[in-house]
Every structure is written in structure tokens, then in C-alpha cells.
Amino acid sequence: MAVSFPKCPSSSLPPLQTRNRAWSSPLSAPHQVGDSSKWALLEATKRCHLSVSSATNGGSAVAPVEPSKKVQDSGTKTTPTDHSTKVENGIRPTVFSSNEFQDLKTGPDNSGRESTVSITVVGASGDLAKKKIFPALFALYYEGFLPKHFTIFGYARSKMTDAELREMVSRTLNCRIDQRENCDAKMEEFLKRCFYHSGQYDSEAHFVELDKKLKQHEGSRISNRLYYLSIPPNIFLDVVKCTSLAASSENGWTRVIVEKPFGRDAESSAALTRGLKQYLHEDQIFRIDHYLGKELVENLSVLRFSNLVFEPLWSRQYIRNVQIIFSEDFGTEGRGGYFDSYGIIRDIMQNHLLQIVALFAMETPTSLEAEDIRNEKVKVLRSMKTLEIDDVVIGQYKSHTRGGVVYPGYTDDKTVPNDSLTPTFAAAALFINNARWDGVPFLMKAGKALHTKRAEIRVQFRHVPGNLYKKCFGTDLDRATNELVIRVQPDEAIYLKINNKIPGLGMRLDRSNLNLHYAARYSKEIPCAYERLLLDAIEGERRLFIRSDELDAAWALFTPLLKELEEKHIAPELYPYGSRGPVGAHYLAAKYNVRWGDLGAEH
Amino acid sequence: MTILRFYQRPSSLSIAFSSRHERSFSGSSELVTLTTRRNQCWRFSPLKSSNGSPLAGASWKDDGKEMPVPKVPDIGSQLAENTVSITVVGASGDLAKKKIFPALFALYYEGYLPQHFTVFGYARSKLTDEELRHTISTTLTCRVDKRENCSDKMEQFLRRCFYHSGQYGSEVDFCELDNKLKEKEDGKLANRLFYLSIPPNIFVDVVRGASRSASSPNGWTRFIVEKPFGRDSESSSELTRCLKMYLIEEQIFRIDHYLGKELVENLSVLRFANLVFEPLWSRNYIRNVQLIFSEDFGTEGRGGYFDHYGIIRDIMQNHLLQILALFAMETPVSLDGEDIRNEKVKVLRSMRVLKLDDVVVGQYKGHTKGGKSFPAYTDDPTVPKGSLTPTFAAASLFIDNARWDGVPFLMKAGKALHRRGAEIRVQFRHVPGNLYKRKFGTDLDKATNELVIRVQPNEAIYLKINNKVPGLSMRLDSSNLNLLYSERYPREIPDAYERLLLDAIEGERRLFIRSDELDAAWAIFSPLLRELEEKKVVPELYPYGSRGPVGAHYLAAKYNVRWGDLSDSS
């Protein structure tokens, strides 16, 4: 029976904290937040119990397509994948098999073998790896979230020595602003665990070499392996094939993190999934959507399900519309090659924004366990109305001169074809045809080269029926409704707009905010989404990763529209670089009696 | 019919209409500002005219004489200028000096008073106009945020202030006052407001004198009275009966200055202008409501009056109960004064009569802290040594109606406590089937949402929500969705007396207590008060500056409530 971390960290070890630690302890009352050192220790101990997992499969809805020989080869004697989901969701298994009990006992006293995790970043010389993945790994290490023994490998085609990789990685590492102690020392230790292996992405032989090197570092420990595929999608399958055939862990788990794009439409996505499943079980595939790792997206479920004051409001009865808004204040800036073949709808809407909608709108899950949450998300996606072209507005930015500075148009980008019709902006109205949300427009808006950088969720409530203060609001009651804003970035915040009397004699009303500004309340730096997701992948927590059926359902909503846009060569509405986007978005909103919350006089 | 005649009917209706008129037609610029600024909402509202639609039993006119009331005033004719004369009876008293004159000046300063007005001080002491002006001038201040012309304005204001010395029971003296008032009013349409800042035992004398000899001949005459309105149901209804011998209901303005506080005013706005609150406002979602008042000082040598009444009469039966009624009332038909008061009376009448078991009384004792000793209540020389008068009380009340059945409304009021403040706390139920329950330990009730409306000091509204602590783990934290008034509204918040005086001048009765409200309020408390006195129930002693008697916790525990203000994260 394999265990994800059979070795219990003793007090001298960096505390191995699970995100679910508060669950495991009766001491988890919120007021105990401050005492972190005691916590870490306590939790490290708890973790021993929890790391032993239930033998039952975490409930993966999709059985391996082919429980083939290959899988068994790569998985070796133990089931490589199935063991950790339940426990790491914080749900203590109610029934332990005798074997599990064995593990429970042996784990803490260290009689089992130590485990290690080897993280291989495939495509290590790429931008994402340098800017996000290595720094996130370092941050996890720095904060004591990685197991005691770990190895990091960079894998790419370029010839590089370990030292060169370290040099490259070191340039992007930095320490948390709030705990700068020992930063250099920590960095050095971290870099010592980083190695490089050069190889072709489709060469099994090269991966065999990697496997040897990994084994050397892993020693006799139980080895768990995580592959981060930071590579173009066309070579996903090659790499997956090689890793699973030649470099899977023999006695621990092997997991693969893949990043978008997951295909271009329903068919190509299904083909990719089919391909991956030739070599991997569902539970080995970790499809990352880094928006799900954002602090406030994580907090969305907490807000909904642990506050009585929100849940009663969470339906068509009180919510008039929901807006999910993403904007960037820069364009493709000479790197539009990849973007041009996907466009904003595939790049942002079909994944990030749709995932947020699903989380926002899902029914209460049976538990916080990953499979339960993903089951609910799939239900939302499958209840949604397929997007039609009438409910979409697309745009593309054009050049704009302001204050003597010329901002280029999208097609001015050298990596973009001159006649490209790829949308850099899109707004869409979606509907969820279920009992809770029937008739409530979910408006999405995503764009590049807009006037601000922002991601937020806006919930506009209905107006007060029979409002006594109607005369104070002018004619349009909808303009004075409550609004809940969850600002995902930048400047994380939650605020609820309420109507309030302006202090003073007389009765004038005003919309003011009940505010929770994260920077003011929480001085700690908010971790980058990649940290959370990497940690989750290491811990086997699948809540924030996208399951195959979720992906299928998501594509099913967008594919007909995407096809139609391409087949009919629909020309996007042009909007100036740095503007508020095409006005078409307003008309789309007006069609459903909505007013964009981010473009009003007050935000 | 001329507008002049219309104004001669001193009914509240005329006020509502007159404001509108002046806004549209009058040449008086100050009045224009007045009505538009103040009445963005109220006056434009046709709902307002329901003031003129008399409720059953209410008279049309303040003076009780029959006169036809035109529904539509003749807007074409000329307006007579009107004036208001405010007579502060008991002008040499503390309240007058500290609150009433400064509030009048603030109203003047901000342009809320009519262009022509007269302020009279009336008391027994012999003072000249100059002496009165001098006394007043020491307490006047200008708004921090608009200090311009402060001394000019003060001088102008003081020039309108006069003094008349007389006995409170003498009709002759009030006749003289009437002559002086007439002189100042100078033939204008005269409206008269008497502010009775005097001990309750002479209320009726003054009302008789003033109403018989110094009522306005052609405008309205109104009387503002302050608590105490009796000591129990009987004495209160006796007072009401006596007042009504000389006044009709609509002339009586019973002030409860807590109702003039900004956040109490805002309570109805919060409830009725926000969709997110109204669905929660019932026993389905609210576990309990707490109304908390505390002062961090004792009677400090002025316990004579207090000892006769005690904290329950002084704070609970009026201020806290009024807030409770506003909090718990059903949605009124309109924002009109009568409609709101109708709903408040319904709440009060649905309330269970308070029993001794549901009350804890306390009295502060001496305490030495950091070398400094703080006196006990009975150390106050104005308080009898053996006094059993409570300086602290906690009570749990219940409203037996469909909305609030079973929800405890806890009240707590005390003197000489560790802090000063007044707040409303609404504790919500716990989340049924909470997915995050493991995070909260065993007591889910400790992690519920709570809405706090802090009336004073530092006006604020905040909603405690559960939130994920940012970071890689899943730890929950109770944090606040905040609205701090001082941050959002840098302007100074007007004193409650300003609002109430202005309302009385404008005939807006929403924040004043109607006779039937008062009766209903006393009915809840009288049996308890009698029992306390008859049984000579001994208050639990608590040290000066402490958190009050622990008995309050046991009372709360009885109803499965935890005081929100005494927990760690309040």
C-alpha cells in the first residue's frame, strides 16, 4: 500500500502542512490563527494520520480507458494513483482496512521508507517555467511545504549544465516580502536540488536517461514523480508517452500537470484526452487552470458555504445577473503567434471564466472533496445553454495614439497575420437552465489592450420589491441595487455595495461599500496561484484541476460558436488600444437588461 | 381662498404643503435651500401628504378649532412670510445650554431655520437678554468642516435670542411672553415651538400656561417634551391625559434623542433599501439580536434624578426599546410618520411582558485601579445610602409574532462600565449542513455571521463574514465587511438634537413617540419595575469600570446567546 508521505515529519523537519489542516483539529477555531508555529507542529503530526489514504479510488468518474499493460508497467506493483484523494480533502476515512491501519501505525514511527518527490519541469527553458514554475517551487520550499527530500529536474532540448540551469533559475527566484530571513541560504539549498537533463521531447531513450538520474537522486526512497508539461500542446502526447513508458515511478505515484490549451474545440480536446488516457489514468492527469488557484476564487466557496448571509441570496430569486470580467491592459506585444490561433474566447473564456461560473453557480456539493465539487461543476456546465452567435460580441484592438505614444493594433504585431480576424475581446451572455439560475444572465467579458487590468466577479442583485425609498433613487431602480464584488486581481477585495443614508439632516441615499480589502486585513503576501496548484498536485488534491468530463462539457458550450465564427469569417468590432472595449458589449448587456458594473460611474 | 388663509390653519398638512410651496414659489432663498436640501426624499414624496390624511382619532388641527381644509392650496396668491418662535422653557438648565441652544445654532448655521425666527429662553431666574446671550455663546460651536464666518453667524444668531423670566405655573407670565413673542413676530404667520427642558413635575403647569396664554393665534403651536414620561404605565398615562387636556396628540412631540442618531435613522434604510438584508430579517435567519448601551462613567455626583428612575426607565424602556421596535417592525406602508409609528406600536404590542426571571439588575461598587479609586454608586452624595436602584440591567425580550417568534432580543444597559458605546448586534444562525464545519471547532454558533451597527462612538456598520485566510492552507477566519463612517463620510455627523428640532419645526413626527407607543412601551416594563421595587430585589454589584455583573452572561446563556460585545473579536 503506497502512501503519499509515509514519513512523518518530526519537529526538526520543515512542517509539512496540508491545506486542509484546520479540519483535522478540534483546535481549529478561527481565533487561533495567530499561533502558527504550534500549529505547524500539531499539523505535521496530524498529517501523519491524514496522509494515509483510503484505498478506495477517490471517486474518479472516468475509469481508465484502458487499464493496459503500459499502465501497469509504469505503475508497478502498487496502484500509483488512487490513494490520496479522499484523505487530502480532509475527510477522514471512516473505515480503515487493516492494511491502512498498518500504515497508520508505521507511518509515524518511521519504520516505512522515506518518500521523496521528484518534480520534472518539461520545457524548462520556457518562459512560464522561468517566471512561474521555478519561483513557485522555491516559494513552496521556502515556506516548508515541500517534503524533506525532493528533487527538481529541468528537461528541455537545449544543452545546458546543471549550473547553467541553476544560474537561469536563480535570476527569477525571490523571497516573500514578509519573511526575508535566510533568503540567500535557502535559495542556495534549493538550487542544490535543481538539476537539468537535456533531451528530445519524443525520445524514450532520453527519458530512460532521465529516469536513471532521477533514481540516483531518489535513492531507496519511495519515489513520487510529478511532471509539469510546460510545452506546446502539439508535443503533449509525445512527452506523456515517453514519461509514462520510460520515467514513471516504480513504487510511488506519477502525475502529469498539463496547462491549456486543451485542444481547440470539442473534437480536438476529446482527441487529446483520448491520447493522454492511453498512457495515464484520469487521476494522473492534472489539468491546470491557474485561475482556480487564485486566492479569491478559492474563497468563493468559503463565502458561499460558510456564511449564512449569502446562501439564501444565491439564486434567481435575488440575483439579477452575474458578471465575470477579465481585462488586460496590454496586447500581444510581439508574441501573438500562439494567441492568434486560439483567440480570447479559447484563451480566457472557455476555461478561466467558465470555471469561475461553474464554481459560482454550482449546487452545494456533498462534501469539499474534489470529486464532489467537480461533480457539481459538471452539472452546472451541462445545464448551460450552448452559446449562440447572437449572444456574443467580439472585438479586436486597433492602434491608438495617446499623448504622443502610438499603441499598435493587434494586426501590427509581426507574429500575427495581417488579416487576422482573431478576437482579442469578447463578451458573451450565458444562461444556466436549471432551477436555481433559470433566466439569470451570466455575462462574461474578456479582452486584451483595455484601459485596466482586472479580474472580478460582480453579482448584481434585484431591486427591492416595493421599495419604500423609491423616490430617493430616481426612475431606474436597477441602478441602485446591491452588488457584491469579488475582485480577484489586482488588489484582492470583497465588497458589498449597500444603500445607505448620507449622514446629516435630510434623507439622501448613497451607495457605499461594506469592504474587505485584503491588503488591509491580511498583511501576508498572497501566494501565487501556481504555488497552490503545484502543492495540490503534489498532495493529490484534485479540487482545482479540471476533470476530463468537465473539459468536455466546457467545450460543448463553446465549440458551435467558435466554429461558426470561423466559418462565417465574422469580423470583430475594432476598438482602440487602451479603450474600454467595443461598444457592442453594452448592447449585448442591454439586450438582457444588464449594465456592466465595471464601466459605471462608480465601481 | 388665499394662501394666507390656508396658512392660518395650523395643521401638519399645512406644513407639508407649505414646504412645497416655498420651494417652488417663495422668494425666500433660505427656505428654498431648506426644503430642497433637507427633503430630497421626504418632501417630494406624495407619501408625505399622508400626514394630512388624519388617522382615526387624530385631529386635523393643532388648535382644535374647526376650519375647512383645502386639499389644493391656491398657488397663485401671495404668501405671507412665516416665522417660527422657539421658546426653550428651562433655559438655564444643563440640557438647554449643552444641547438645545447649540443645536438651534447649528440648524441656523446650516441654513435649516426659516429666514425669520426668534429664540426665547424662559426660566425663573432673572436674566437679561444679554446675560442669556452670554451664557449661550460659551457653548456654541461651528461645524468643524465649515468654519467660515463662524463668529459673524454666531453674532447674528445671538441677536435673535431673547430671555423672559417667569414662573412655570403662571399664566400671567406666559401672557407677557406672548406679548414679547408677538412683538418679534411682527405680524408674520407665527409658528411656535416650546421646548420643555424642565423637570417632569412641572410639565403640565407649563403646558397649561403656554397653551392657554402663549399659543400662536394663526400658526401652529407645538411642544417638545423629554423623558421621563412617567415612572410606569399609570403615571405615564396620567401625564398623557393631562397633556391632552390642553394639547391634541399632534401638538405633542415626545423626544427620544436616540431616534435622532444617524445610525438609528439609517436602520430603516439598511433594511428597506437593500435587497440583501430584507430576506434575512426574520427568525429563519436571525438567531438573536442584541441592543447594547454602555457608559464608562457613573452618576458623578448627579444621581438625584437617576436614583428615582434607574437604568431600566432611563435607557431601556425608551431608547433601547425604541430601537428594537424600529429594528423589528414590519415594512410600513410608507415612510410617513404615522405609518412608521403604526408599525412600531404593533411590534411593542406583540411583545411579551417582561418577567423578573428574564432580567438581571446590577449596581456599581467602588473600585481601585492603578492607584485611582472610583466611587460606588451609593458613594454619590445625591444617592441614598441604601439605594437599590439598578445602574445596570440586562433583559431578554421576545416578540410573539410570526416574524420573530422565539428570537431573543437581548438588551443591556449600564453605567460605569469599561467602555462607552451603543450598538445593535444581529447574530445569524449557523449555516445548516456547513461544509466547512470541521474548521469551526465544536461550536458552530461561534462562527456565525454577525451584523453590527455601531450607533456611537465611531459610527460604523460591519458584517462579520467567514473568509479563507489567504495562503496555501484552508484556514478560515472571521473578518469584517466594513463601513466606517468617518472614512466614508468625513463630514461631521449632526447631533441627534438638531435632527429632532428640525423635524419638530417641520412637523415630521416619525422620530417622536406617539401616546399609544408610549403606553405599549410601559406595559412591557411596568409589572417588572413594580416587582423589582416591591420585592426590593438587590442588584448584583459590579466594580466601577468593569464589564458589568456576570449575571448578564447567565441570562444570555439561558437563551443560548453569547454577548457579542464581550467576546474577543468584537
Q: Which residue has the higher pLDDT, B54 or A547?
A: A547
Q: Which three cell numbers stand for residue B522?
A: 410601559
Please give the Cα distance from A58 to A86 (Å, whole number): 6
Grid cell 458623578 — which residue? B300
pLDDT of residue B91: 93
The active-site residue out of A149, A290, A352, A586 is A352
Kindly provide the residue ranges of all beta strands, DSSP E only, lying in B370-415, ordered along the sequence. 372-374, 392-397, 409-414
What length does chain A have?
603
For residue B423, give the C-alpha cell: 450598538
Return the C-alpha cell found at A213. 538520474
The pLDDT tens digits of the residues spanning B290-333 come to 999 999 999 988 888 899 999 999 999 999 999 999 999 999 99
The neighbour count for residue A398, using CB atoms within 10 Å, is 20
Test mutation, B475, B480, B483, chain A, max A CBs within 10 A: B475
Q: Round to whole Å and give the CA distance between B303 and A326.
A: 64
Q: What is the DSSP letter of B146?
A: -
Predicted local confidence at residue B80, as pLDDT: 65
The beta strand positions in B197-295, using DSSP E, are 221-225, 252-255, 286-294
- pLDDT tier for residue A440 given thresholds of 50, 70 and 90: very high
- Taking Cα atoms as reference points, which of A11, A50, A29, A90 lies closest to residue A373? A90
> Which residues of B are less than 8 Å from A306 in CB distance?
431, 434-436, 439-440, 447, 466, 476
Total number of residues shown for chain B: 570
Q: Which of A30, A463, A469 sits opposite B478 (nearest CB)?
A: A30
d(CA A301, CA A281): 28
Residue A461's contacts (CB-CB under 8 Å, 6 or more residues apart) are A313, A318, A319, A320, A481, A482, A483, A484, B275, B276
Give the pairing of strands B359-365 and B540-543.
parallel
Q: Distance between CA B233 and CA B235 in Å, rounded?
A: 6
Is A352 annotated as catalytic? yes
Q: What are phi and psi of B25, to 5 degrees?
A: -120, -25
Amino acid found at A471: K
The rounded Cα B442 to chain-centroid distance in angstroms is 41
Cell of B47: 407619501
CA distance A202 to A24: 44
Is there a contact between B41 and A24 if contact means CB atoms under 8 Å apart? no
Predicted confidence at residue A112, as pLDDT, reads 67
Contact (CB, 8 A) for B306 and B299 = yes
- Is residue B291 within 8 A of residue B411, CB to CB? The reply is yes
pTM for the structure as a whole: 0.78
Q: Does A549 score more than 90 pLDDT? A: yes
A505/B499 Cβ within 8 A: yes
Which range, A10-24, A410-424, B11-25, has the best average confidence (pLDDT)? A410-424
Question: Which tens digit of pLDDT belongs to each residue from B77-96?
Answer: 345 688 999 999 999 888 89
A157-209 per-position pLDDT tens digit: 999 999 999 999 888 887 765 556 778 888 899 999 999 999 999 999 999 99
Which residues on A lie below 8 Å from B497 (Cβ)? none
pLDDT single digits (tens) A407-433: 999 999 999 999 999 999 999 999 999
Q: How close does chain B come to A196, measured CA to CA in Å? A: 28
What average pLDDT score do residues B107-135 get? Answer: 92
Nearest to B441 among A26, A90, A468 (CB): A26
pLDDT for A602 equals 57
pLDDT value at residue A59: 37
Distance from CA of B419 to the nearest CA of A (A): 23
Task: Point out which residues pair with A194 in neighbouring strands.
Answer: A152
A545: β partners: A288
- Give the span between the Cα atoms of A330 and A151, in whole angstroms: 37
C-alpha cell at B499: 435632527
Strands laid side by side in the A254-259 sheet: A194-198, A150-156, A115-122, A222-229, A254-259, A285-288, A545-546
Which position has the higher pLDDT, B423 or B472? B423
Is A377:A550 a contact under the CB 8 Å cutoff? yes
The residues that bridge with B293 in the sheet, in sequence order, are B413, B422
d(CA B113, CA B117): 7
B327 CA: distance to closest CA in chain A (Å): 15
- CA A210-A213-A214 angle, to 5 degrees, is 85
ipTM exceeding 0.85, yes/no: no
What average pLDDT does this structure show over B107-127? 92
Listed in order, strand segments (DSSP E) in B320-404 are: 359-365, 367-369, 372-374, 392-397
Q: Which residues of A touch B276 (CB under 8 A)?
A: 309, 313, 318, 461, 482, 484, 496, 498
Beta bridge partners of A421: none
Residue A601: its pLDDT value, please?
57
pLDDT of residue B79: 55
CA distances from A310 to A262, A280, A466, B204 (A): 34, 40, 22, 53
| Distance (Å) from the alpha carbon of B159 to chain A's nearest alpha carbon | 25
Identify all chain A residues contacting B113, using CB atoms and an 8 Å cutoff: none
**For A252-271, how does the pLDDT look when each residue is reduced to its tens digit (9 = 90+)?**
999 999 988 999 999 999 99
Whether the per-residue pLDDT at A303 is higher than 50: the answer is yes
Per-residue pLDDT at B480 exceeds 80: yes
CB contacts, 8 Å: A44 with chain B: none
> Helices marked H in A219-329 — which ranges?
236-246, 266-279, 295-305
Q: For residue B294, which phi and psi values (nearest 5 degrees)?
A: -140, 145
CB contact under 8 A, A482 and B466: no
Higher model confidence: residue A588 or residue A477?
Answer: A588
CA distance A333 to A418: 15
What share of chain A in percent tops pLDDT 70?
80
Contact A198, A209 (CB under 8 A): no
Residue for grid cell 398623557 = B240
Q: Is the pLDDT of residue A18 over 60?
A: no
- Note the pLDDT of residue A78: 39
Residue with cell 433583559: B395
Per-residue model confidence (pLDDT) at position A521: 79
Closest CA to A357 of A80, A553, A83, A573: A553
Whether residue B473 and residue A17 make contact (CB cut-off 8 A), yes or no, is yes
**Positions of B marked catalytic:** 319
Burial of B366 by CB count in 10 Å (0-12 exposed, 13-18 middle, 19+ buried)? middle
